[in-house]
C-alpha cells in the first residue's frame, strides 16, 4: 500500500504543478497528452483505492458532486465593497487630489489593473486548502458556490507550498474568455439551446448552476485582484506585492497589472489599455487604480459603500440601445450578400454609430431583427458594430420578418445559398459592379499590391467612368484621362501611375493574396508561394493543394475553381502581359521558422511592421497581435509598451531589432 500512496502523492503533485504552469504562468511544460495520461493513471488508482482519495487536493475531485437543491448564504467577514467610478480625466484628477490632500503628500503610487467584466468571487483558504467560495451578493451576504468553484481548473484546490497565511481570503473575478464564450454559444446553437447575450452573463449563469457538472462543462476562468480576511501570517506592505504573492501561491493574476507613480501615469495606463482592449483575450469595462501602500489605504479608510483609496475608471459603453430604421444588403468582393441595419445614430464605445452588421441570414433569423425594432448595438474596439439582440418588449405591432432578396441588389444576378454555408452570394461574378470594385480595392490594398493613393472613392470613380473593369485595367490607365477626373490633376495622376508602375515588381505571395481567391489569406498565400511557381499552381490538382500546410479540401476546391475560371485566367494573363514580375525564389525560400510564433511591438527602424511581418511569414513563422504562453519571440522596437512587460513575465525570448535582422539573414 505504501508504494500506491507514494505514487498517488507523486501524481497529485505533478498534475497540480502542471496545472499551475498552464493556468497561472501561461507556460505549459508538458504536452496535453502527457497531462491526460497522468490524469487517467490517477483516476484508475483512485478507483481501485477510494480510501486514499484526498478531496481537498486531488485534481480528480473537481467534478462529480450531486446537484444542490439551493445555494446556502454566506456572511462576508470583511464586506465586499463596490468602487466609486470615474468617467473622464477630470474625474481621475479629482480623485487623485482628494487622496493627496487627505494624506498630505505630493505624489501617490498606484496599483493599476484592468477591470474584468465578470462575477466577483471570494475564495477562503485555511491551512492552504480551499474550504469555501462565495459570490459577492449584496456585498455583505453572498451565496456559497464552493462545489461549482472547485470545477474551475485555474483555481487551486490547495495553495502552493510557501509562507502563506493560515487563513487567507483571495478575491477576484470568474469570467469567460472571448474564445470560450464563442465556443459555448456554438455548442448551445448546435444543441438548439438558448444563446448567451455576452461573456459576463454566460459566466454568471454557468457559476450559479445547481448541478456542478454543468458548471464543469463551461469554459470558466479566474483572476485574483485582492484579499479579504488574513490570519496567521504576514503579507507584503503594498497591494502590487500582494498580487505577486497570490501568484506565487498558485492563484492566477492578470498580466495587465502595473505599479505607476502619479496621476499622469494613471491616465497614460488608462489610454494604453483602452487602445489594446479589443485585443485582450477577455472583456474588460475599465481600469481600476488602488493606492498601493497598505498603510496609506488604512489611513484613507472607507465611505459607506466604497474605499476612499480606489477608483474604477470606466470605458465608454460598448453597448447602447437604438432603433432600426432600415435593413439594406451590401455586396462584398466574393459576392457575399451582407444585411446591414441602418440605425438611429447612437454613441457606442466613444463613436457615433449609424450602421451595424447583421452578418448573414442565419444571424438575422436567429435574432429576428426587424425594421422598427429597438435593439442593443455592440462595438468592441475597432470591430464593426453589430446588433447584439432585440428588445422584444419594445417591438411595434406592425413589423415584418426580413428576407434576403432572390437577386443581387447591385447587378440583378440570381442570389444563391450553397448547402452547408450561411452566406447568400451573388452569382454575377466580375459582371457585378460591387464585386468588381471590391476586387480592385482588395488588389490595391497595402497587404496586397500596395498601390499608394488608390482609395475606395477613386476606384469607384475610375470604374463608373469606364476606365476600369478589372484589375488588369489598372496597368492600362492613361495620365490624361486620370487627370481629367474630379479632384485629380496632373500631379495626382502622375503619382498614382508611378505607384501602379512600382507595383509591377511584386512578390508571388502578395500577388496570390491580391487575386482575392476565397479563403486564401496572407499565410495561405505565402505557403502556396513557397511550394509552387504560378504556372504550377494554376495546374495543381486539389489533391496536390491539400498537401500544403493550412490548405484543406474546401480551400483547395476554391483555389482549383479560381484557376479553372476563364475570366480569372484571362485577367491573370493580362496582368502578366502588363509586366508584373517577381523573383522565382521558391527553391531559395526556407521554412526555418516554421511553427514559431512572433509578436512585434514598438517602432522598428530598418523595416516597417508590415515588411517585418512579410519576412517572418515567408520563413514559415506566424505573427500574432498579442503575447501569450505560446509566443516564442517578442520583437521589441522603440517604445514597446505593455507587451514587453507581459513577455518578460511569461519568460518569452525578447529580440531587439539587430537580433531580428541577424536571424532573418540566416539562410
* CATH value at residue 657: 3.40.50.10190
Band (pLDDT 50/70/90 cuts) for residue 69 is: low
Regarding whether 285 and 172 lie in a shared domain, the answer is yes
Tell me the pLDDT tens digit for each residue of 114-146. 999 888 999 999 999 999 999 988 788 888 999
Distances (CA, A) of 172 to 80, 114, 228: 11, 12, 10
Pair (172, 258) in one structural domain: yes
Q: What is the pLDDT of residue 587?
A: 41
- What is the pLDDT averaged over residues 541-570? 91
206, 254: one domain: yes
Sign of CA dihedral 142, 146, 151, 156: positive
Q: Span 574-583, mean pLDDT? A: 90
Q: How far apart are CA 204 and CA 117, in angstroms?
A: 11
Q: pLDDT confidence of 271, banded at 50, 70, 90?
A: very high
Indicate which CATH number applies to the domain containing 156: 3.30.470.30
Q: Report how far residue 511's alpha carbon sits from residue 473's, in angstroms, rounded to the nearest whole number.
A: 16
State the CATH number of the domain containing residue 339: 2.40.50.140
Note whether residue 343 is domain-resident.
yes
**Is 105 domain-assigned?**
yes
Specify whether 606 is located in the same domain as 492. Answer: no
Q: Which of 48, 115, 129, 596 is flagged as catalytic?
A: 115
- The answer on pLDDT for 24 being more than 60 is no
Helices in 230-351 by DSSP H: which ranges?
Answer: 239-248, 263-276, 294-300
The whole-number average pLDDT for the span 647-652 is 84
* Same domain assignment for residues 566 and 479: no
Angle (nearest 5°) at CA 645 between 591 and 608 = 45
Higher pLDDT, 1 or 89: 89
Is residue 590 a part of any domain in this protein? no
Q: E strands of 127-219, at which residues?
A: 129-135, 141-143, 167-176
Domain around 452: 429-502
pLDDT at 53 over 80: no
- Residues 300, 98: Cα–Cα separation, whole Å: 10
Question: Do residue 230 and residue 329 come from a single domain?
Answer: no
Residue 422 lies in a domain: no
For residue 559, the domain's CATH number is 1.10.150.20
The confidence band for 586, taking pLDDT boundaries of 50, 70 and 90, is very low
Flag whether 415 is in a domain: no
**Euclidean distance between CA atoms 182 and 214, whole angstroms:** 17
The model's confidence at residue 3, banded by pLDDT at 50, 70 and 90, is confident
Cα 11 to its chain centre, rounded Å, is 34
Predicted pLDDT of residue 331: 94
Which one has a higher pLDDT value, 227 or 22? 227
Asked if residue 8 is part of any domain, the answer here is: yes
Based on the domain organization, do 327 and 303 belong to the same domain?
no
Residue with cell 496567521: 232
Q: Stretch 585-601: mean pLDDT, rounded?
A: 70
Domain boundary among 339, 367, 402: 402
In the chain, the number of structural domains is 6
Task: Give the pLDDT of residue 340.
Answer: 94
In this predicted structure, the answer to whether residue 349 has a pLDDT above a threshold of 80 is: no
pLDDT digits (tens, 9 = 90+) for 596-614: 889 898 877 777 777 788 7
Cell 480551400 belongs to residue: 555
Cβ atoms of 624 and 598 within 8 Å: the answer is yes
Same domain, residue pair 133 and 214: yes
Rounded to the nearest 10 degrees, the angle between the axes of helix 199-207 and helix 178-190 is 70
Q: Which residue has the higher pLDDT, 180 or 28?
A: 180
Q: What is the C-alpha separation between 64 and 141, in angstroms, rounded? A: 27
Q: What is the pLDDT of residue 28?
A: 60
Q: Where are the alpha helices (DSSP H) in 24-76?
A: 32-48
* pLDDT computed for residue 590 by the predictor: 58
Residue 107 corresponds to which cell in the numbers above? 505624489
Q: Both 296 and 331 in a single domain? A: no
Q: Is residue 69 a part of any domain in this protein?
A: no
514 with 661, same domain: the answer is no
Chain mean pLDDT for the chain: 86
Task: List the one residue out of 222, 219, 112 whose CA is nearest residue 170.
Answer: 222
DSSP string across 144-166 = B-HHHHTT-TTS-SBPPSSS--S
Instruction: Name the domain boundary from 296, 314, 332.
Output: 314
Residue 115 appears among annotated catalytic residues = yes
Q: Mean pLDDT over residues 467-478, rounded?
A: 94
- What's the average model confidence in pLDDT over 27-38? 65
Half-sphere exposure of 484 (CA within 13 A, CB side): 7
Whether 77 is in a domain gets the answer no
Give the three-state DSSP class for 229: strand
Task: Please state whether 300 falls in left (phi above 0), alpha (psi between -120 and 50) or beta.
Answer: alpha
Out of 502, 532, 559, a domain closes at 502
Assess contact for 306 and 84: CB atoms under 8 A.
yes
Q: Does one domain contain both 156 and 265?
A: yes
What is residue 302's predicted lDDT score, i.e. its pLDDT?
A: 86
Query: Is 441 in a helix, a strand, or coil?
Result: helix
Question: CB-based burial of residue 574 (10 Å sphere; 0-12 exposed, 13-18 middle, 19+ buried)?
Answer: middle
- Residue 191, pLDDT above cutoff 80: no
**Which tens digits make up the pLDDT trace of 400-420?**
999 999 999 999 999 998 777
Let me know whether 556 and 610 are in one domain: no
Amino acid at each position: 500500500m505504501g508504494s500506491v500512496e507514494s505514487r498517488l502523492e507523486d501524481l497529485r503533485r505533478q498534475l497540480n504543478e502542471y496545472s499551475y504552469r498552464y493556468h497561472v504562468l501561461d507556460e505549459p511544460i508538458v504536452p496535453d497528452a502527457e497531462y491526460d495520461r497522468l490524469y487517467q493513471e490517477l483516476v484508475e488508482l483512485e478507483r481501485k483505492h477510494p480510501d486514499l482519495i484526498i478531496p481537498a487536493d486531488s485534481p480528480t475531485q473537481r467534478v462529480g458532486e450531486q446537484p444542490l437543491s439551493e445555494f446556502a448564504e454566506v456572511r462576508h467577514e470583511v464586506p465586499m465593497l463596490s468602487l466609486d467610478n470615474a468617467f473622464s480625466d477630470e474625474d481621475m484628477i479629482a480623485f487623485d487630489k482628494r487622496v493627496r490632500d487627505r494624506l498630505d503628500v505630493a505624489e501617490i503610487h498606484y496599483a493599476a489593473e484592468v477591470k474584468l467584466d465578470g462575477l466577483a468571487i471570494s475564495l477562503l483558504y485555511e491551512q492552504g486548502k480551499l474550504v469555501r467560495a462565495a459570490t459577492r451578493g449584496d456585498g455583505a451576504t453572498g451565496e456559497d458556490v464552493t462545489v461549482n468553484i472547485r470545477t474551475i481548473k485555474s483555481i487551486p484546490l490547495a495553495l502552493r507550498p510557501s509562507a502563506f497565511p493560515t487563513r487567507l481570503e483571495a478575491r477576484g473575478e470568474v469570467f469567460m474568455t472571448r474564445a470560450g464564450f464563442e465556443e459555448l454559444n456554438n455548442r448551445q446553437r448546435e444543441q438548439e439551446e438558448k444563446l448567451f447575450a455576452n461573456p459576463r452573463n454566460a459566466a454568471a449563469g454557468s457559476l450559479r448552476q445547481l448541478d456542478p457538472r454543468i458548471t464543469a462543462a463551461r469554459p470558466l476562468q479566474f483572476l485574483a485582484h485582492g484579499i479579504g480576511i488574513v490570519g496567521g501570517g504576514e503579507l507584503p506592505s503594498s497591494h502590487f506585492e500582494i498580487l505577486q504573492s497570490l501568484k506565487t501561491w498558485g492563484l492566477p493574476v492578470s498580466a495587465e497589472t502595473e505599479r505607476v507613480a502619479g496621476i499622469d501615469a494613471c491616465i497614460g495606463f488608462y489610454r494604453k489599455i483602452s487602445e489594446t482592449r479589443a485585443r485582450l483575450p477577455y472583456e474588460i469595462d475599465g481600469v481600476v487604480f488602488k493606492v498601493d501602500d497598505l498603510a496609506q489605504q488604512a489611513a484613507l479608510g472607507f465611505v459607506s459603500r466604497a474605499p476612499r483609496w480606489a477608483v474604477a475608471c470606466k470605458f465608454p459603453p460598448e453597448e447602447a440601445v437604438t432603433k432600426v430604421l432600415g435593413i439594406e444588403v451590401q455586396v462584398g468582393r466574393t459576392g457575399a450578400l451582407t444585411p446591414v441595419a441602418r440605425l438611429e445614430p447612437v454613441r457606442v464605445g466613444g463613436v457615433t454609430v449609424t450602421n451595424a452588421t447583421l452578418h448573414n441570414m442565419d444571424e438575422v433569423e436567429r435574432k429576428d431583427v426587424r425594421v422598427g425594432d429597438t435593439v442593443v448595438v455592440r462595438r468592441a474596439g475597432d470591430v464593426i458594430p453589430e446588433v447584439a439582440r432585440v428588445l422584444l418588449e419594445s417591438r411595434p405591432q406592425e413589423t415584418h420578418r426580413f428576407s434576403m432578396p432572390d437577386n443581387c441588389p447591385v447587378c440583378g444576378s440570381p442570389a444563391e445559398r450553397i448547402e452547408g454555408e450561411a452566406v447568400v452570394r451573388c452569382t454575377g461574378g466580375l459582371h457585378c459592379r460591387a464585386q468588381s470594385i471590391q476586387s480592385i480595392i482588395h488588389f490595391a490594398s497595402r497587404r496586397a499590391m500596395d498601390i499608394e493613393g488608390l482609395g475606395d472613392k477613386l476606384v469607384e470613380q475610375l470604374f463608373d467612368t469606364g476606365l476600369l473593369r478589372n484589375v488588369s485595367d489598372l496597368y492600362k490607365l492613361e495620365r490624361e484621362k486620370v487627370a481629367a477626373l474630379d479632384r485629380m490633376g496632373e500631379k495626382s495622376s502622375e503619382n498614382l501611375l508611378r505607384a501602379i508602375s512600382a507595383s509591377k515588381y511584386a512578390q508571388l505571395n502578395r500577388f496570390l493574396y491580391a487575386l482575392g481567391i476565397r479563403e486564401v489569406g496572407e499565410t495561405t498565400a505565402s505557403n502556396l508561394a513557397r511550394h509552387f511557381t504560378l504556372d504550377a499552381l494554376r495546374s495543381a490538382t486539389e489533391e496536390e493543394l491539400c498537401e500544403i500546410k493550412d490548405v484543406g479540401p474546401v480551400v483547395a476546391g476554391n483555389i482549383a475553381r479560381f484557376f479553372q475560371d476563364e475570366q480569372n485566367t484571362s485577367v491573370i494573363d493580362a496582368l502578366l502581359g502588363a509586366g508584373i514580375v517577381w523573383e522565382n525564389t521558391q527553391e531559395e525560400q526556407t521554412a526555418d521558422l516554421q511553427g514559431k510564433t512572433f509578436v512585434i511591438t514598438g517602432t522598428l527602424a530598418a523595416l516597417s511592421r508590415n515588411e517585418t511581418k512579410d519576412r517572418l511569414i515567408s520563413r514559415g513563422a506566424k505573427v500574432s497581435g498579442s503575447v501569450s504562453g505560446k509566443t516564442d519571440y517578442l520583437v521589441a522596437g522603440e517604445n514597446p509598451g505593455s507587451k514587453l512587460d507581459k513577455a518578460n513575465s511569461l519568460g518569452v525570448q525578447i529580440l531587439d531589432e539587430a537580433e531580428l535582422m541577424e536571424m532573418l539573414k540566416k539562410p
